[in-house]
Amino acid sequence: MRRTERIVKGFLGQAGIGVNGDSPWDIRVHDQRFYGRVLRDRSLGLGESYMEGWWDCDRLDQLFARLCAARLDETAARRPIPKFLDALLEHLQNRQSRSRAGEVAEKHYDLDNRMFLSWLDRHTQYSCGYFAGTDDLDEAQERKLDLICRKLSLSPGDEVLDVGCGWGGFCSFAAERYGCRVTGVNIAREQVEHAREACTDTGLDVAILRRDYRELSGTFDKIVSIGMFEHVGSKNHKTFMRSIGNCLRAGGMFLLHTIGTNVTATGCDAWIRKYIFPNGDVPSLAQIARAAEGIFVVEDVHNFGPHYDRTLMAWHERFEAAWPRLKKDYPEMFRRMWEYYLLSCAGAFRARALQVWQIVMTPMGTPQPECRLT
């Protein structure tokens, strides 16, 4: 057995993962170059070699749940220099500056509306659902939207701002179900065009603007941001909070829905950053609190991270069902990339390595609101 193979097998064995074994989370290696690739490039090499068909696994979600639960990224300090350099670059550069903010929109969110909408729910939610009392993705996403509306105590006539509005699902929901006047802002061209068409067709009081959060203007009773803060970056967290604060009326409320990490770090997983979310930077609760300090009072923090495991598994099931219609437009490597992305993230949430927080905030000096927080 070669040295690289022995090291990688020993490393995986710490998480109870075998190579060419019988367990559904075991790895089946098809190309011996896999071992050197993983030892050299770590998480990036693991993901790229899967995309290229060098290895397979019956249950990627279980594999990554075991990898994350074993916290092997903390014990594998064999190659600290690349991680140090990444942290240094994060410190020196603003990877989410105004000029670079559009990269994630161009490479991910503008990929193809037809592809995304083939497996998302009827409200086009590309964030964690709320599976309270249901096993159905459509119902879970509707319950998430209604939960947000109740936490914000939405009422008819409220002026609402949705920062990073995606395909306009929340905007339509709040306008239709709660009688609000909603403005959605987003920098992803394809999403903005779809949201405009969808809201125009329903005749709802919704305006969709292609605009960066640093360009916000106007005043609103309630503001929400769902699944967008992960693209803001730690250097811009305070700017984001100030932009929200400047647009929120006295006595208003702000709800932030975001993925979060347990420990403050820089950036995100190397494979995710390269292939899925360029310049992604998942915040810790400490980072969010520091950014809100002096601007907002934190009224409530609700963690329902395990619901993202179920959301991602449902997305994967729907993506696989849609693939026969999509494969004429995409290569097999694209399918493997999305399979790896959805199932590896499901495993990370299952292991509690990642969280989902809904944080309700009010401007300094605002009386504590009466609202449904769960």
At 191-202, the pLDDT tens digits run 999 999 988 777
Query: Is 68 part of the annotated catalytic residue set?
Result: no
Pairing of β 248-261 and β 354-363: antiparallel
Q: How high is the pLDDT of residue 73?
A: 64
Choose the catalytic residue: 57, 199, 247, 345.
345
CA 53 to chain centre: 26
Determine the Cα–Cα distance for residues 374 and 151; give it in Å rounded to an integer.
8
The angle subtended at Cα 362 by Cα 361 and Cα 363, nearest 5°, is: 130
Query: Which residue type sits at 131?
Result: F
CB atoms within 10 A of CB 176: 16
CA torsion sign for 7, 8, 11, 17 is: negative
Which token pair is 58?
Answer: 């019956």
Per residue of the chain (374 residues), give pLDDT as tens: 689 999 999 999 999 999 999 999 999 999 999 999 999 999 999 999 999 999 999 999 999 999 999 987 665 444 444 444 454 444 444 455 454 545 655 666 667 899 999 999 999 999 999 999 999 999 999 999 999 999 999 999 999 999 999 999 999 999 999 999 999 999 999 999 999 998 877 778 999 999 999 999 999 999 999 999 999 988 999 999 999 999 999 999 999 999 999 998 766 788 998 899 887 889 999 999 999 999 999 999 999 999 999 999 999 999 999 999 999 999 999 999 999 999 999 999 999 999 999 999 999 988 888 766 65
Do β-strands 248-261 and 159-163 pair in parallel, antiparallel, or remain unpaired? unpaired
